[in-house]
Structure 1
């Protein structure tokens, strides 16, 4: 039953009260359809937020202060995403986009494989047709390391482009973001903007050069976000930079560019979409995050689940479950290929504002440590590789079994999307039900590792995996059910990795 709204004389307070009532008593609505019967799936509300009691100063009842021992919780969220153009053949417009920007020196960033594909052919033709001056950097590494990122930055700085154009998967787009960042901060130390506590986590306090992103995979959603991830070799873990100013100016999502993805790449990329959607859907609510920033420039890109991110994340989850198996099995299923690219973009908007949590936090040491030099089948790369999508999905059954108790309604809604009959599922069983549904989905896709043991990890590696996860504060802080005590957190992460050894 929807609680009534108490009428409060103060207009501002009344507006806030009404917003909270709408936000936490109704499912997120489709922006184009206000009819609550339009969608067949009920989306449960976020957990109800009860404001923290504040201590009133005896000197003035108009000013209220939180107790010093309790940091203020967040009270606002921000919506940030790139402009998106979606449609087959839209890559051909990029030359006109650059001409409209008045671009004089364009850095085109790609990788050796994409440089030989139709996407780069289309880009070159479009730029040449409009007389755009450009140079191509094609040495981006799949799953970039700090060394490959530094190499790209060293190439970009002396060229001093006025626009960046990234053509490729998430690795290419993320590398281009970092090239842009460090070209605009030529005196910055490499760790200045890297996420704390590994780096200094400084805010990006000025606009960067325009960046156009043309994704050639349907997975990372990097064309919408201000996040760039790489492997910091000396720490044996992934980290990165996250700030709204890194997000591309424009993402050109052309389904023709994903048609050449091998099945293994489609699967891994799609699993990244799956986890983006599930994690952002189940992240802590934005107004449970602490501390509240003392300046809006310090508000993180990853803020917690909120009414806007919920719409994008849940839609992306439905689309991925429906279309990913089809996209993998039939390269001529153009509807499925197109819908997966759209799902990746929508999930990018969702997690780019809400954030991800345990699957991603645990994935970074998994892909970074790779103790047996595992190389995923279907990837044409000259080095060992645990693809990012594989590294996040491999822990998903264990993760959502663990987090379900924090919000059974949301986890139950996710299980229903997987096709589970949830009409008689008890709250205490939701975690096991969702975990089984995810494990079955992974098994049905084929060629997916059955837990981290299949990637070469054993119980002897768990402590190193835990230590590689603990520095991922920007995502762990959004994890439901994870305790705010380092020793207890270690124990919980250790149990999660042990439970992730196999899915059954």
Structure 2
């Protein structure tokens, strides 16, 4: 793959090096039908926002020059304790040293961050006058860095001020943040492209987050060199997160069905609903993921596959970062927040946690069977992207075809068999439902409205998935 080693910058452009020359239509006939004219108080506009993305093997070595170009005088490098000893961070620090740019390193980021770990990094950032933030790590690191930037530049703000309502106050971010550069070391969250920062809110035992275009990194440096040493299960669950980002954003409620229409453009949410621009990124990411996720999971030496997944992660991030996710992600928040003793290979050995991608995928078969009647064609297109032959499938069977195709892939990826395998039983369902229903940013983007009774049923169906 000659294109893999080439450095390029992209802003809303596609490369076809992984999928041959198959074109994705800008707007299909079904999309024209799906996106009509907004009426009454529905929104009528979409707004596309994305970080600058630079991709290329070894491109991390340029980050010192990027900081110099931004006139940085004191950089905060945010990472975790494991990565602090590894090549990605060392490459970043050498790049800063080469430009004689002063910096400090914060290496205490928690995998699957909490409100407590967010506050610890925020306090560290408040303790000095940093003029640029540099995240080196996976989604946990990048999200933590976003929070440190947000709250250190507004030191009188409380944590819940900008957290999504109704859990937080959902205040608009009006102040100016410092530049932020993200160097992702996993292929999953796409956080280098989005304005979202997610954390476990311990008082609720569920995840929540902050979503604003103001949080977007100024630059995401996507360097496939960093994926060479990613453990198998990390590669698997990071890739599964890409898959769910793509399907959820592609099947989300259309942007012009969202209510209410904002009174001011600045109030338009970053999670707007599916739209013709996000559709292209999401569907392309899904096709890439279907082609490469198994190879990337089981063969760390397959540089082509892991590089492709790195791009798929960024593509899906652009898609869901503007369209949003829905029920799988909403349900994942209490699944991960109520973890008992579950420990996953490849992650922190003594830290009980359910990896984010795993917490998302266990509900996916139940969710997509539930949502399919709202937009069957979308679900069929997702199934086709995953390799299913949908040429003779009836619309009423769209949910079954997608979930059966998805289950086949999950078996090959050795994903645990549902919530029971993660330590939950049916007695946990009321707690799970209670942690999901306040996730308005997500569940209100479901193409099919869901109530508490239906949510209870979705969790029950997710106890086992095979």
CA distance in 1, matches of 2:194, 2:287: 21
**Following TM superposition, by how much is the alpha carbon of 1:126 offset from its aligned partner in structure 2, in angstroms?**
0.7
Match for residue 471 of structure 1 among 423, 438, 441 = 438
In structure 2, how many angstroms separate the alpha carbons of the residues matched to 1:110 and 1:457? 32
Partner Cα distance (2:62, 2:23) in 1: 37
- 1:249 to 2:232 alignment: no
SS in 2 for 1:450: coil
- Paired with 1:422 and 1:91, the residues of 2 have a C-alpha distance of 42
Q: Does 1:324 align with 2:293?
A: yes
Q: Tell me which residue corresponds to 1:146.
A: 115
Query: Post-superposition shift, 1:327?
Result: 0.6
Partners of 1:363 and 1:391 within 8 A in 2: yes
Alignment of 1:191-340 (within 5 A): 191-340=160-309
| Structure 2 counterpart of 1:375 | 343
Q: Report the Cα distance in structure 2 between the residues aligned to 1:137 and 1:304, rounded to whole angstroms.
A: 35
Instruction: Name which of 101, 107, 126 aligns with 2:70.
Output: 101
- Please tell me whether residue 393 in structure 1 is matched to residue 361 in structure 2: yes
The corresponding residue for 1:45 is 30
- Tell me the SS of whatever aligns to 1:191: helix
Aligned to 1:411: 379
Q: In the alignment, does 2:409 pair up with 1:441?
A: yes
Q: State the TM-score, normalizing by the size of structure 2.
A: 0.94
Distance 2:250 2:235 in 1: 22
Pairing 1:77–2:46 present: yes
Q: Give the drift of 1:445.
A: 1.0
Instruction: Show the counterpart of 2:319.
Output: 350
CA contact (8 A) 1:398 1:500 kept: yes
Q: Tell me the secondary structure at the aligned position of residue 45 of structure 1.
A: helix
Structure 2, unaligned stretches of length 5 or more? 1-11
Shift of 1:443: 0.7
The count of corresponding residues between Structure 1 and Structure 2 is 449
Report the equivalent of 1:462: 429
State the shift of 1:431 in Å.
Answer: 0.6
Once the 2 structures are TM-superposed, how far is the Cα of residue 407 of structure 1 from its aligned partner? 0.8
42-51 or 144-153, which deviates more:
42-51
SS across alignment from 2:406: helix
The equivalent residue for 1:424 is 392
Deviation at 1:304, TM superposition (A): 0.4
Look at both structures and tell me which one has the larger radius of gyration over its CA atoms. Answer: 1
Question: Which stretches of structure 1, 4 residues or more, deviate above 4 A after TM superposition?
Answer: 29-33, 40-44, 49-53
- After superposition, give the CA deviation of every residue in 1:100-131 in whole Å (9 maximum; x if it has no partner): 11100100000001111110110111111110
- Specify the SS of the correspondent of 1:167: strand
Unmatched tracts of structure 1, length 5 or more = 1-28, 54-65, 67-71, 484-488
